[in-house]
Amino acid sequence: MGLIIRQEDLKAIIKMAEKSAVEVCGFLFGRGEGGNFIVEEVRFVPNRLNSPTAFEMEPVEMLQAIDEAEERGLEVVGIFHSHLKCPPVPSGRDLKGMRLWPVVWLIVDEKGNYGAFVLEGDRIREVGVEVV
């Protein structure tokens, strides 16, 4: 099981993370196929906490993003956000979010490192990222 994402999409997320003084966040829309998650579209949503150490998607834009994706037949396959000056692995706060949103969590840092994670029961498992 892994996340399949186009290089330009991953680059776009990392570029935003590099430029931003706060965590950036949003959705990975696409479809599941053969146990993998294929990202068709990246959608940024403002971080309403405006924080360098935490994120919460702005709720109205969040729902709008999901509606628009569903209209095009895409589903939420993942959530992405950035970490600043700390490794791209889930924080304690992220773990709570992963319980609410049991999808793939892609985390990038401002240096271009990244990792993808899922919650299995109460354990976090890293999954592969295939850049195509």
Catalytically active residues are 23
Q: Where are the alpha helices (DSSP H) in the chain?
A: 7-19, 59-71, 92-100
Within residues 86-125, the interface with Zn ion by CB under 5 A covers: 91, 94
CB of 130 to Zn ion, least distance (A): 22
Helix (H, G, I), strand (E, B) or coil at 2: strand
CB of 52 to Zn ion, least distance (A): 11
Chain-centroid distance, C-alpha 55? 11
* Closest CB to Zn ion among residues 94, 110: 94
Helix (H, G, I), strand (E, B) or coil at 59: helix
CB of 94 to Zn ion, least distance (A): 4
Closest alpha carbon to 79 in 41, 30, 9, 27: 27
Task: Report how far apart the first and last C-alpha atoms of the chain are (Å, whole number).
Answer: 16
- 20 binds Zn ion per the rule CB under 5 A: no
* Closest CB to Zn ion among residues 40, 109: 109
- CB of 93 closer than 8 Å to CB of 107: no
* Closest CB to Zn ion among residues 5, 17: 17
Q: Print the binding letters for residues 48-87 with Zn ion: x by CB under 5 A, - otherwise.
A: ----------------------------------------
Which residues in this chain contact Zn ion in the complex, by CB under 5 A? 91, 94
